[in-house]
Amino acid sequence: MNRNNILDSCLKVHPFINNHALPCQSYTTIYDPGKLTNIVGKAGVSTPEDVDQAVKAAHQGFLSWGKLEPQERVEKVMLASDVLENSISDLAHLLVREHGGLLQEAKMDFRGGYGNFKYYENIVEEFMEAEEKEDEKSWIRIENKPKGVVAAIVPWNMPVVLTMMKLVPALMTGNTIVVKPSPRAPLALTLLLQRMAAVLPNGVINVVLGDDDVGAALTSHPLVKKVAFTGGCENGKKVMVNAASSLKGVTLELGGNDPAIILDDAPIEELMPRLVKGIFTRAGQICYAIKRLYVPQAMLKDFFDLMCEHLKDYRVGHGLDEHATMGPVNNLEQFRFVRELINEAKENGAVVRELGSKCDPDNWDNGYYILPHVVIDKEHTTRLVHCEQFGPVIPITPYETIEEAIAMANDSNYGLASSIWTGDYERGKKLAPQLEAGLTFINVHGLGSTAMGMPFGGIKDSGVGREMSAEPTLYAYTDFHAMRLLK
């Protein structure tokens, strides 16, 4: 029986500790968001006792893993990267069925995860080298030492890359890890981590499964020395409170309400495909997708008409349907929220245009499907403009001056990413520093716009710390140990 057949036959995943699956008293059923009558599998639900056992196993594993030479650790972790690469062929299909994205988006998730291995492989050994200084008075040695057990909590939208952004630097610098996948997409990630754990010593990778109570038990555990979390702002604040009980370090990559400013010199016909991709990839369910647009008043009609023309060709359907260009949203709560935002915009008098077509009209009500929507909010007052909508709808607000556009873009509690779109690169580079965000792009935005080595993270309510980079990330998983001898 091949892997695809195995995955299709009553799949169950369990928490695992020390490379052993842990039976559970209860299981959560995972339904396909594009075919709600289809059960994809079941995921065990961990107890607080399971969390305690997982953390203790990770701590025990750390006692030997953390003592390995950096080169040896990196070589061992790279074996896990081969496992990830070889798992794309079967687990990407499974991931589509539990999170709702397109197959090509799921494969991009895996490839992004693999890229973290290749990036850190070449920099960790040098980073971990001790620094020594000596003069006639004293000798000083400064080491970077692993913290211990790392807790990683990841969401459902891009679970593989978001896990590897934490796991790879954590493990290569000598920490061990306990991962909690999202209860809305735990299957593919758990199977992947089990496969990766099998090529590493016991206790290096562990997984617990469940919802907020499991996360709370994990982030407050006294043996956890570092928490890396990607998710919503309110949950991020709860993580920070839990971590404070034992002064753990935290990296929080939280939500965004990313603005994109279109300048009056922007070649919109040339740039529109990139803009549409930056908005509607994963049905808008990307933390740093474009979530609001600011367009010169004089360009508004032409811009709106051109965007609508591009979106007419969108076909919304199941992620495994080769004809689909956008999948469903992931869950009922998000589906209702996005529909509510669209209806509110209509009630407030905004121009709302529904676009695209249905791949399978007969199955439409059997999934969380929403067609792409473009909204003109001239007053900049709808909730749609000021929240993280996380769905296939984009508000456009016109502006008269660039100062007005920047002021509206910065008028947010969020500060993850932002972008400027222009035909004049120097003008774009001059304006970019004026935006209040952890990331600012020029003529690109959304999935695929970042680069390894470019610190990824936000300011304001969008987070604390940086991932996907050398020093900011690696320092977050290590502690300084300074020694001095006085002659």
**What total number of domains does the chain contain?**
2
Token pair 């002021």: residue:
407
Same domain? 240 vs 269: no
Q: What is the pTM of this model?
A: 0.96
Same domain? 38 vs 185: yes
Taking the C-alpha atoms of residue 17 and residue 194, their distance in angstroms, rounded to an integer, is: 10
Counting as low any pLDDT under 70, the low residues of the chain are: 1-9
Q: What angle do CA 121, 169, 142 make, to 5 degrees?
A: 95
Answer yes or no: is 90 within a domain.
yes
Same domain? 234 vs 269: no
Answer yes or no: is 456 within a domain.
no
Answer yes or no: is 234 within a domain.
yes
Q: Are 68 and 201 in contact (CB under 8 A)?
A: no
Same domain? 249 vs 272: no
pLDDT at 272: 98
Answer yes or no: is 24 within a domain.
yes
Taking the C-alpha atoms of residue 255 and residue 438, their distance in angstroms, rounded to an integer, is: 12
Classify 250 as helix, strand or coil.
Answer: strand
Taking the C-alpha atoms of residue 330 and residue 311, their distance in angstroms, rounded to an integer, is: 21
pLDDT at 199: 98
Same domain? 214 vs 283: no
Taking the C-alpha atoms of residue 270 and residue 73, their distance in angstroms, rounded to an integer, is: 46
Same domain? 214 vs 78: yes
Answer yes or no: is 266 within a domain.
yes
Catalytic residues: 166, 253, 287, 467
Answer yes or no: is 34 within a domain.
yes
Tens digits of residue pLDDT in 318-343: 999 999 999 999 999 999 999 999 99
Same domain? 473 vs 445: no
Same domain? 295 vs 207: no
Same domain? 244 vs 119: yes
Taking the C-alpha atoms of residue 378 and residue 375, their distance in angstroms, rounded to an integer, is: 9
Residue 4 CB coordination number (10 Å): 12
pLDDT at 9: 55
DSSP calls for 129-193 = S-EEEE-SSEEEEEEEEE-SEEEEE--SSSHHHHHHHHHHHHHHTT-EEEEE--TTS-HHHHHHH
Token pair 């992004």: residue:
112
Answer yes or no: is 133 within a domain.
yes
Residue 385, φ and ψ in degrees, nearest 5: -75, -30
Same domain? 237 vs 361: no
Same domain? 23 vs 37: yes
Tens digits of residue pLDDT in 237-264: 999 999 999 999 999 999 999 999 999 9
Answer yes or no: is 143 within a domain.
yes
Looking at residue 230, which CATH number applies to its domain? 3.40.605.10
Taking the C-alpha atoms of residue 174 and residue 68, their distance in angstroms, rounded to an integer, is: 8
Q: Are 217 and 48 in contact (CB under 8 A)?
A: yes
**E-only strand ranges, 310-457:** 315-316, 351-354, 357-358, 373-376, 393-399, 417-421, 439-442
pLDDT at 476: 98
pLDDT at 6: 40
Range of the domain at 84: 3-254+461-486
Same domain? 179 vs 297: no
Looking at residue 328, which CATH number applies to its domain? 3.40.309.10
